[in-house]
Amino acid sequence: MALLADALSRVKPSATIAVSQKARELKAQGRDVISLGAGEPDFDTPDNVKEAAIAAIRRGETKYTPVAGIPELREAIAKKFKRENDLDYKPSQIIVGTGGKQILFNAFMATLNAGDEVIIPAPYWVSYPEMVAICGGTVVEVPTTLENNFKVVAEDLEKAITPKTKWFMFNSPSNPSGAAYTHDELKALTDVLVKHPHVWILTDDMYEHLTYDGFKFATPAQVEPSLYDRTLTMNGVSKAYAMTGWRIGYAGGPAELIKAMDTIQGQQTSGTCSIAQWAAVEALNGPQDFIPANKEVFKGRRDLVVSMLNQATGINCPTPEGAFYVYPSCAGVIGKKTPAGKVIKTDEDFVTELLEAEGVAVVHGSAFGLGPNFRISYATSEAALEEACNRIQRFCASLR
């Protein structure tokens, strides 16, 4: 009898985690490595949030919490949804999980049967298809194009829907491309979804607050209120509030679905860390003035990286509307050779040789379902980004 479950054979390791681990190993060997693989703000968690956590410890808020989250946090989340998204969720329609990953995983676990299809536009966050696979579902990828700024169009969404479609997995601003959908672009998609009442919408709004150039964020149930009863709106505090390690994700949705997710989480992890929950209360209810300040820093980094990458031979980098990633095409270097004679056949070859030659760690686009591209996270210092882009330019210039 085999030790490992059959489901494990359907799952690939996380490419983003693998790149960060490889960069750490090379650094430990004494290599000069600039790692641009991790999707993690380099800002510190705001002081008021840290102080709220310390105060919670001193108050003795160190016991088990309700599985779905402490009432104070669910209330704060309900207010956030109303204030920022014009969505009315009662606290009983909200669940808090150990990061956005657990929210997504629990939603799929609670709803997917063998043969159920989940539509996922590509490029996508590496974990989406793996979660679907673990839960027994079938991924239906819908490729996007650089010409459409990596956004799925209504016609392609319509073609992908079948009687077996259970979920449409939506992410804006996108990891990995940074693409964000305008109200009108989103309305074109929701118009399609309205016609297919068996399709549910799972929206990952984790990068909601990180948009640039006056872009106005919108979420599906806000754009099309008739989809409210079959939409799970997921968000968290990790990106905008620089709280990645606190592990707080949350979602609002129909009570029946939230209850099912609560049942799964109750047998899986139970309630999220009590101290992290109290920190999240302060994050959502407290001052928000640091968010626009951080956004300006991110925008400056984005503009620097886009400009420098477009000066690299064979690289084409569009300007994304949000998040802290760029997703340049390296199609112009495919087929070229390194000075050592190695042929660059794929985007994975490109990032492998870039790391070896110049010590710059990025993630290959095929890991996100669409190549030949690569993802750069610009959530690091301008000095590091400038040096990394100089190295990328030098590497590309060396190819023949």
Count other C-beta atoms under 10 Å from residue 188's C-beta. 17
E-only strand ranges, the chain: 34-35, 94-97, 117-122, 138-143, 165-171, 200-204, 231-236, 249-252, 325-326, 360-361, 363-364, 374-377
Report residue 353's pLDDT band, with 50, 70 and 90 as the boundaries: very high
pLDDT of residue 314: 98
25 has pLDDT over 90: no
pLDDT of residue 6: 83
Q: Go through 348-382 and write b for each residue having 16 or more CB atoms within 10 A of its CB, e for each that does not.
A: bbbbebbbebbbbbbbbbbbbbbbbbbbbbbbbee
pLDDT of residue 23: 82
As a whole number, the mean pLDDT across the chain is 96
92 has pLDDT over 90: yes
pLDDT of residue 216: 97
Report residue 19's pLDDT band, with 50, 70 and 90 as the boundaries: confident
pTM of the model: 0.95
Q: Supply 336's token pair.
A: 């070229």
Structural domains in the chain, sorted by start: 6-44+290-398 (3.90.1150.10), 62-285 (3.40.640.10)
Report residue 24's pLDDT band, with 50, 70 and 90 as the boundaries: confident
Q: What is the pLDDT of residues 54-82, one digit of tens each?
A: 999 999 999 999 999 999 999 999 999 99
11 has pLDDT over 90: no
Residue 336 is which amino acid? Answer: K
